[in-house]
Amino acid sequence: MFVVVRIKTLESLAEAIYYQLADLGFDAIMEEESPYSETTIIDSALDTNKETVWTTSVSEEEYNEKEVKEILDNYQSQNLLTYSISKEEKQNWNKKWEENFQPIRLEYDNSKGGKDKKCIIRADFHAAEPNFEHEIIVTPKMSFGTGHHQTTRLMLGHQFEMNHHDKIVLDAGSGTGILAIMAAKLGAKEVFACDIEDWSVENSLENAERNNLKIDSKHGTAKVFEGQKFDILLANINKNVLLDEMPLYNELLNETGTLVLSGFHHTDIKDIQKRAIEFGWHIKKQTEETPWCSLRLEKNFSEL
């Protein structure tokens, strides 16, 4: 069984609320009135003043009723949201999620004043669009990271700018495996992934196979790869986990490696940066989709 929370609030507040719930184990936003339509473009501005209705879920075993209600009741007492909580079978939740899944089209401004069509992320029941440079087909299950969430798109934006050819890549906290799949499509020699949820590991392997690619996905944190070395490490998790696992990331990455992080807000950058500097990592590039942020870090590189 899953505990499903349905929330109605302003779009400008939705991400901050979800960010707090995500720290309590909630995953997989399903927006009933989604700002991310079939024509989503990564650099489009969002209307943050409109209302949005969305649901998110957590397993019944992980659900902490007291903490969840403290968060939601605080917003509700200020008339900032309304919410309901229910329990649903996993199968029913997945069916609803599939019905609401829309293709994500990632397009970027180019020097000629047009758009570079970099990638479409779609389910197998959507039509192919061959005018995009890359295509990722996913089976939309409950894993986080279908491309609808800002942090996934921010991570992909970094990947499009990075050289993956002959690199060994780790996607830590892989969810659906989109970042790992993109690494393979961009020419990585070997791609590894991990997630603390069994169903995410299963889903990432299914999605890799669906895209005719091979990734080595394991259950657990990045610690399961201790002793190995990577050229690129992708971690789209949350601030607290990133801070805790920074020593591990440092151990896993080659001296000339690249660390790409997301899952935190702009206000968290100083804490992330301070922790990274302890291990000689400096910010090479910072990107944002309000209120979410992403950082690309390297060693022997001057800070921005």
Q: CA-CA distance, 235 to 16, in Å (whole number)?
A: 20
Give the Cα separation of 58 and 52 in Å (integer): 20
Query: Could you confirm whether domain 150-299 is CATH 3.20.20.80?
Result: no
pLDDT at 227: 95
Strand ranges for 69-133 from DSSP E: 81-88, 104-109, 115-122
Q: What is the pLDDT of residue 59?
A: 85
Contacts of 234 by beta carbon, 8 Å cutoff, 6+ apart: 155, 159, 169, 170, 171, 172, 179, 180, 183, 260
- Helix, strand, coil shares, percent, the chain, to 5: 35, 35, 35
Tens-binned pLDDT, residue by residue, of the chain (304 aa): 889 999 999 877 887 788 788 888 887 667 764 433 343 444 433 344 578 888 888 888 889 999 999 999 999 999 999 999 999 876 665 666 666 678 889 998 888 888 899 999 998 888 999 999 999 999 765 545 555 678 888 999 999 999 999 999 999 999 889 999 999 999 999 999 999 888 789 889 999 999 999 999 999 999 999 999 999 999 998 899 999 999 999 999 999 999 999 988 888 999 999 999 999 999 999 999 878 899 999 987 545 4
Q: Sign of torsion, CA 36 37 38 41?
A: negative
What integer pLDDT is reported at residue 143 of this predicted model? 45
Strand order in the sheet with 81-88: 27-31, 51-59, 2-10, 81-88
Residue 5 confidence (pLDDT): 94
Q: In the prediction, which pLDDT does 190 show?
A: 98
Of 148, 239, 126, nearest in space to 156 by CA: 148
Distance CA 248, CA 276 (A): 11
The candidate with the shortest Cα–Cα distance to 53, out of 119, 86, 8, is 8
**Domain residue spans in the chain?**
2-100, 150-299
The residues near 1 (Cβ < 8 Å, ≥ 6 apart) are: 59, 60, 87, 88, 89, 90
- DSSP run (H or E) holding 73: helix 65-77
Are 175 and 206 in contact, with CB atoms under 8 Å apart? no
* CATH code linked to domain 2-100: 3.30.70.260
pLDDT confidence of residue 44? 37
- What stretch of H or E contains 75? helix 65-77
Q: Across the beta sheet with 292-299, what order do the strands follow?
A: 216-219, 190-195, 168-172, 230-236, 253-265, 292-299, 281-289
Rounded-to-integer distance, Cα 67 and Cα 134, Å: 41
Q: Is the peptide bond before 291 cis (omega within 30 degrees of 0)?
A: yes
